[in-house]
Structure 1
Amino acid sequence: MGKLAGKKLILLGERDGVPAPAMEACFKNSGAEVIFSVTECFV
């Protein structure tokens, strides 16, 4: 188990940077639970 095991995550992705689905894929095996994930355009 990692440091994020049992934690809840809120992921804010950026359209021209790292999108939220990519972050979700990275955290998938961390033991953390993604409770909210969204990709926005910050201009």
Structure 2
Amino acid sequence: MGKLAGKKLILLGERDGVAGPAMEESLKNSGADIVFSVTECFV
């Protein structure tokens, strides 16, 4: 179990950077509960 096990995460992705689904995919085996994941354009 890592440091994120049992934690709830909110993932805010950026269109020109790291997208929300990419972060979600990389963190899915961390034991964390991903509550919300989105990709936005911050201009």
The question of a shared fold, defined as TM-score above 0.5 by the shorter chain, is answered with yes
What's the offset of the Cα at 1:34? Answer: 0.4
Partners of 2:17 and 2:33 in 1: CA distance = 22
Identity %: 81
TM-score, length of structure 1 as denominator length = 0.96
- Aligned-residue Cα RMSD (Å) equals 0.4
Q: Which structure 1 segments of 5+ residues have no match?
A: none
Q: Which runs of 4+ in 1 moved over 2 A?
A: none
Matched residue count? 43
Q: Which structure 2 segments of 5+ residues have no match?
A: none
TM-score, length of structure 2 as denominator length = 0.96
